[in-house]
Amino acid sequence: MSLIKSYLHEQMNTFTPDPRLEMLMQREQLMEDIISIITDYSDSGHICEESSDILQEVLCDAVCKNFPAQ
């Protein structure tokens, strides 16, 4: 194995993900899921568009409140 490949292989084996970054990515995914679910309900006529927008905002604000970036 070349010196560069050996170094990169070693770096990959010692990489530890940042838990804060992981949590922020999961928080973002949760908000995207919330928006998608509410949009599906709105598109199917179960809730009106105005209620859909309000519900998305309230739920995403709650996610941010309970999973702060700091």
16 vs 11: CA distance, rounded Å: 10
| The pLDDT value given to residue 6 | 75
8 vs 32: CA distance, rounded Å: 34
Q: How far apart are the first and last CA of the chain?
A: 42
pLDDT (tens digit per residue) in 5-57: 777 777 667 666 788 888 999 999 999 999 999 999 999 999 999 999 999 99
Phi-psi region of 45 (alpha: psi -120 to 50; beta: other; left: phi over 0): left
| The pLDDT value given to residue 7 | 73
Q: What is the pTM of this model?
A: 0.71
